[in-house]
Amino acid sequence: MSKEPTGPDTGSDNLPAEEPIPNPGLPSHTWRPTDIDEAAARRAERQIASMYLLSMLCVLGFVVTYFVADVGDNWDTILGLGASTVGLGVFLGLALLLIGAATIQWARKLMSDVEMVEMRHPARSSDEDREATLQALSSGAEDSGIARRPLIRNTLLASVGMLGVPAVVLLRDLGPTPGQAAEADYPGAGLEKTVWTPGMRVVRDVVGTPIRASDLEIGDLVNAQPEAIFPSEESGLPELHGAELLIAKSKAAVIVVRMEPETIIPGEGRDNWSVDGIVCYSKICTHVGCPISLYERTTHHLLCPCHQSTFDLSDSGRVVFGPAGRHLPQLPLAVDEEGFLVAQSDFTEPVGPTYWERDHKDIGDQGEADL
């Protein structure tokens, strides 16, 4: 066994001084009690075997639990926890742990623990091998004539390279482009539009009932939707399903809050967007699009639970804290002849997170509330 790194690749010639202490070599082996005492070895053997036995018992327990513990709408419980999950998990886990522990204990106590030495070899191939490989490569290249016939080589490379084109082109139908989506015929198609239309009622989420302005008290928060999500027979709106429903919801969701009318600082041109202190904002955060409804009634702040952007609903949805870069879009409100809240129009700007072409296809007054 060599004592010092002196191989060709270890660079021992860089060392400025001799090593201070020579390598003393492997210490002599010391024996375990199980190596020298047959009784200890037998004890260990019994211990290991009993772990394997216990493991089998645990599997039995697993099977019993599987057939005895109820799932479905009426779970059996242990300490308030689901008996099936707990029982199956603990029995399976113990069965596995016992096999593992027994096997490792076997290795630790009874298998040989005399250290062995194996020599390493440099990762690189030997010079002869390299030579032979290079020789083979050049013979191969020579036989193919790839060097002599650059035309073939170049056209081969180009044609194989061109195969990337079908691979990319084939992915084209993964989805429509944003432009195509905007022209699709489902309601509120495209990033710039939502299902809100002038005069559409604001209805409560989940139950779909319209909101009478006089029903709301100061401090009230309503998680609301356009009526198009909950079409009633009288409205004559089409029922939305599947992707259309989800897309419509993901852009059109709003929150309606009522505050003291004098606390509202209306944005430019937004003087008549509120009804008696009732304001309506997009529920979709302008940061990355989480729905937000963490509203504080005294500060009029709205917090996003995802990244803590905070918006001031008394001040055109201005950002007061956090990573959002834009104010929250406001939906202009009015009341219809029956006294229910309705939208004056669709949002005047795209809702949700910022995207590259957003300004390009701007449809309204975006940005002025950031000032």
Partner 1 sequence: MSIDTSKVATSNSSAATAKKPGKAGAVANWADERLGLGTAMKKNLRKVFPDHWSFMLGEIALWSFVVLLLTGVFLTLWYHPSMAEVVYEGSYDPLRGVLMSDAMASTLHISFDVRGGVLMRQMHHWAAMIFIASMMVHLLRVYFTGAYRKPRELNWVIGCLLLLLGTLEGFTGYSLPDDLLSGTGIRAADGFMKSIPVVGTYLSFFLFGGEFPGDQIIPRLYMIHVLLIPGILLALIAAHMLLLVYHKHTQWPGPGRTEENVVGFPMLPVYAAKAGGFFFIVFGVTAIMGGLLSINPIWKYGPYDPTKVTAGSQPDWYMGWPDGALRIMPGWEFHLGGYSFALNVFLPIIVLPGLMFTILLLLPFIESWITGDKREHHLLERPRNAPTRTALMVSLMTFYGLMWAAGGNDIIAITLNSDINQITYFIRVAVFVGPAIAFWVTRRWCISLQRHDEAKLLHGYETGVIMRSPEGGYSERHLPISENAAYTLTARDRDVVWTPGSETDESGVAAPGGRLDGLRAKLSTLWFADNVQKPTAQELEEARHHAEHEHALTAALDGVAADGHQFDGHHAVEGESLRGS
Partner 2 sequence: MRILNSTAGRLSRHRRGRLAGALLLLVGLVAAGGLYTAVMTPASAEKTQDLASQVEEGRKLFLVGCSTCHGTNGEGILTDRGNNLGPSLVGVGAAAVDFQVSTGRMPMAQPGAQAPRKDVVYSEEETAALAAYVATLGPGPAIPDESDYSIEGLDSEAQEAAIVRGGQLFLTNCTACHNFEGSGGAMPNGGYAPTVRGVDAKYIYEALLTGPQNMPSFSNGNLTPDQKRDIIAYINSLNESAGVGGFGMGSLGPVAEGLFAWIVGIGALVGFAVWIAAHTTRSNKKKVEA
Contact 321, 363 (CB under 8 A): no
* Shortest distance in whole angstroms from residue 178 CB to partner 2: 29
- Point out which span in 102-110, 119-127, 135-143, 266-274 binds partner 2 (CB under 8 A): 102-110
Distance CA(140)–CA(155), nearest Å, equals 19
The site string for partner 2 over 242-281 (x = CB under 8 A, - otherwise) reads ---------------x------------------------
Please give the residues from 238 up to 277 whose contact with partner 1 meets the rule CB under 8 A: 241-243, 245-247, 249-250, 253
User: Which one of the spans 2-10, 168-176, 184-192, 214-222 is the region binding partner 2 (CB under 8 A)?
Assistant: 214-222
Q: Phi first, then psi: what are they for 194, rounded to 5°?
A: -130, 180
Q: What is the largest CA-CA distance in the chain?
A: 100
Using an 8 Å Cβ cutoff, are 216 and 340 in contact?
no
Q: Is 292 in the site for partner 2 (CB under 8 A)?
A: yes
Subset of 159-178 contacting partner 1 (CB under 8 A) = 171, 174-178
Contacting partner 1 (CB under 8 A), which of 208, 231, 277, 323?
A: 323
Q: How far apart are CA 371 and CA 368, in angstroms?
A: 6
Query: C-beta of 320: minimal distance to partner 2 in Å?
Result: 8
Query: Is there a contact between 267 and 369 (Cβ–Cβ < 8 Å)?
Result: yes
CB 309, CB 324: distance < 8 Å = yes
Instruction: Please provide the distance, in angstroms rounded to a whole number, between the alpha carbons at the two ends of the chain.
Output: 77
Contact 351, 330 (CB under 8 A): no
Nearest partner of 25 among 7, 3, 54, judged by Cα: 3
> Least Å distance between CB 275 and partner 2?
14
**Among residues 62 and 295, whose Cβ is nearest to partner 2?**
295
Q: How far is the CB of 274 from partner 1 (least distance, A)?
A: 22
The residue within the footprint of partner 1, chosen from 39, 72, 160, 207 (CB under 8 A), is 72
**Residue 77 or 139 having the CB closest to partner 1:** 77
**Binding partner of residue 216 among partner 2, partner 1, none, CB cut-off 5 to 8 Å per kind:** partner 2
Tell me which amino acid residue 112 is. S
CB of 332 to partner 1, least distance (A): 20
**Nearest partner of 215 among 84, 341, 83, 131, judged by Cα:** 341
By a kind-dependent CB cut-off of 5 to 8 A, residue 20 interacts, out of partner 2, partner 1, none, with: partner 1
Site for partner 2, residues 9 to 38, rule: CB under 8 A: 30-33, 35-37
- Find where tokens 């047959």 sit: 38
